């Protein structure tokens, strides 16, 4: 059994060029070059991050936990998710504090920004919505994809 295993190992090694034939085998270099695209690691949202660290900017941590504010946020979210808008639109930050709604985050198109604004104003009232949504320059995935 050992002889068979050793023989098999020698055959594999010679097929791979590890057993001596008197010449040294040099590694081959590919004749075609493939370009590898490496994404730019630099952040593109530095300004947004600085804005979010400001005490003046509403963040999800500022969301009130009273039942009225939670109901407003949930109703807006349900209407957005029930639509055919992009994944970015479905991930919009909706923050409600004392009946005042702040909308933040990227959306795929200006039409989505307007549609979310209409939904929020229908739920919270025209004067109670601060729409800070940004139209993204990057294409967004739609829910159908």
Q: Give pLDDT tens digits for 6-61.
A: 565 665 666 555 555 555 555 555 555 556 555 555 555 555 555 555 556 666 66
Task: Name the helix (H) or strand (E) containing 93.
Answer: strand 93-97
Q: In what order do the strands lie in the sheet with 100-107?
A: 93-97, 100-107, 129-135
Tell me the pLDDT tens digit for each residue of 92-128.
Answer: 999 999 999 999 999 999 999 999 999 999 999 999 9
pLDDT reported for residue 144: 46
Token pair, residue 122, equals 């229908």
CA-based radius of gyration for the chain: 29
In whole angstroms, give the CA distance from residue 3 to residue 1: 5
Map out the domains of the chain with their CATH numbers.
57-135 (3.30.1340)
Query: Given this model, what pLDDT does residue 4 score?
Result: 54
Indicate if the pLDDT at residue 68 is higher than 90. yes
Q: How confident is the model at residue 145 (pLDDT cuts 50, 70, 90)?
A: very low
Q: Cα 50 vs. chain centroid, distance in angstroms?
A: 19
Q: What is the pTM of this model?
A: 0.58
- Following DSSP, what letter does each residue of 22-75 receive, concatenated? SSPPPPP--SS---------S-S-HHHHHHHHSTTS--GGG---SHHHHHHHHH
Angle at 120 between CA 124 and CA 85, to 5 degrees: 160
């Amino acid at each position: 059994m050992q002889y068979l295993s050793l023989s098999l190992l020698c055959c594999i090694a010679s097929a791979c060029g590890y057993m001596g034939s008197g010449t040294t085998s040099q590694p081959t270099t590919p004749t075609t070059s493939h370009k590898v695209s490496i994404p730019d690691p630099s952040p593109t949202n530095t300004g947004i991050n600085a804005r979010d660290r400001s005490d003046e900017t509403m963040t999800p941590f500022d969301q009130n936990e009273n039942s009225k504010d939670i109901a407003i946020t949930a109703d807006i979210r349900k209407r957005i998710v029930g639509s055919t808008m992009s994944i970015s639109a479905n991930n919009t930050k909706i923050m409600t504090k004392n009946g005042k709604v702040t909308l933040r985050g990227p959306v795929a198109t200006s039409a989505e920004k307007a549609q979310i604004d209409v939904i929020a104003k229908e739920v919270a009232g025209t004067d109670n919505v601060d729409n800070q949504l940004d139209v993204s320059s990057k294409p967004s995935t739609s829910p159908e994809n």
